[in-house]
Amino acid sequence: MKNRKDFVPDPNLFTKDLDGLSLKMLEAHYKLYEGYVKKTNEIQAAFDAADKSAANGIYSPVGELKRQETFAVNGMKLHEVYFGHLQGDGKPSGDLVGMIEKDFGSIDGWKEEMLAVGMSSRGWAILAFDYRDNRLHVYGSDAHNIGAVWAAIPVIVLDVYEHAYAMDYGISRKAYIDSFFKNLDWTFAGKIVSQFELTKYYGK
Ligand SMILES: [Fe+2]
């Protein structure tokens, strides 16, 4: 791979408790995210140095590096959206509100779907815009690299791994998901909508 760049996490993202999410838990969780960034860099550098002529479907260093790369890269990207939109006031705002109303009927209808996917998935519930049918979907994912959908842009990302809530909530995942919605920064999600110019699919 030419022109490889190391990814760098944003330091000191959290400085205080959020509503229902302790700083202690957020900092511990953020350390896991930093691990995904570090391992993404490590895997991609190792692949560059690995012997491509030894590629083998049963076992080979390049094969294993590529298997773990999707886990590390998706772990990095999904956490970046999750942490990025976790310091807001939870009030739905911006063009995304109308987009959700069109595709799910109402914000409450979408939240109900997001909650159901969050309660039944083992890793993630993801509101994503899918270019296949030009609309929003809630996709579930059981691991960073299981359930990923090609050509779909994550707009709102809910982490439902136990590490995201067990320190504060034990096994009460639903209470944690309620806190997630309370802290959701719709402005951050709106920046993703703008970045990919998604409103043009909604007549704007
Ligand atoms: Fe996580």
DSSP 61-98: HHHHHHHHHHHHHHHHHHHHHHHHTSSS-----SHHHH
With pLDDT > 70 as the criterion, what percentage of the chain qualifies?
Answer: 100
Q: 77: exposed, middle or buried (C-beta count within 10 Å: 0-12, 13-18, 19+)? A: middle
Structure confidence at residue 3 as a pLDDT band (50, 70, 90): confident
In this structure, the answer to whether residues 50 and 115 fall within a common structural domain is no
* Separation between Cα atoms, residue 41 and residue 69, nearest integer Å: 9
- Residue 7 C-alpha to ligand 1 middle, in angstroms? 18
Q: Which domain holds residue 35?
A: 23-84
Q: 56: exposed, middle or buried (C-beta count within 10 Å: 0-12, 13-18, 19+)? A: exposed
* Separation between Cα atoms, residue 96 and residue 192, nearest integer Å: 10
- Residue 10 C-alpha to ligand 1 middle, in angstroms? 16
Final residue in a domain of this structure, among 84, 110, 131:
84
Neighbours of ion ligand 1 (CB under 5 A): 159, 161, 164
Does position 12 have pLDDT exceeding 90, yes or no? Answer: no
Does position 147 have pLDDT exceeding 80, yes or no? Answer: yes
In a domain, 9, yes or no: no
pLDDT digit string (tens) for 110-122? 999 999 999 999 9
Final residue in a domain of this structure, among 37, 52, 84:
84
In this structure, the answer to whether residues 48 and 139 fall within a common structural domain is no
In this structure, the answer to whether residues 41 and 129 fall within a common structural domain is no
Q: How many domains are contained in the chain?
A: 2
- Residue 159 C-alpha to ligand 1 middle, in angstroms? 6
Which of 95, 53, 62, 76 has its CA nearest to residue 189? Answer: 95
In a domain, 131, yes or no: yes
In this structure, the answer to whether residues 114 and 189 fall within a common structural domain is yes
In a domain, 191, yes or no: yes
- Residue 160 C-alpha to ligand 1 middle, in angstroms? 7
* Separation between Cα atoms, residue 178 and residue 183, nearest integer Å: 9
State the pLDDT at residue 24: 97
In this structure, the answer to whether residues 191 and 106 fall within a common structural domain is yes
In this structure, the answer to whether residues 40 and 107 fall within a common structural domain is no
DSSP per position, 135-200? EEEEEEESBTTBS--TTEEEEEEEE-SGGGTHHHHTT-HHHHHHHHHHT--HHHHHHHHHHTTGGG
pLDDT digit string (tens) for 88-114? 999 999 999 999 999 999 999 999 999
In this structure, the answer to whether residues 106 and 149 fall within a common structural domain is yes
In this structure, the answer to whether residues 63 and 100 fall within a common structural domain is no
- Residue 49 C-alpha to ligand 1 middle, in angstroms? 29
- CATH classification of the domain holding 141: 3.55.40.20
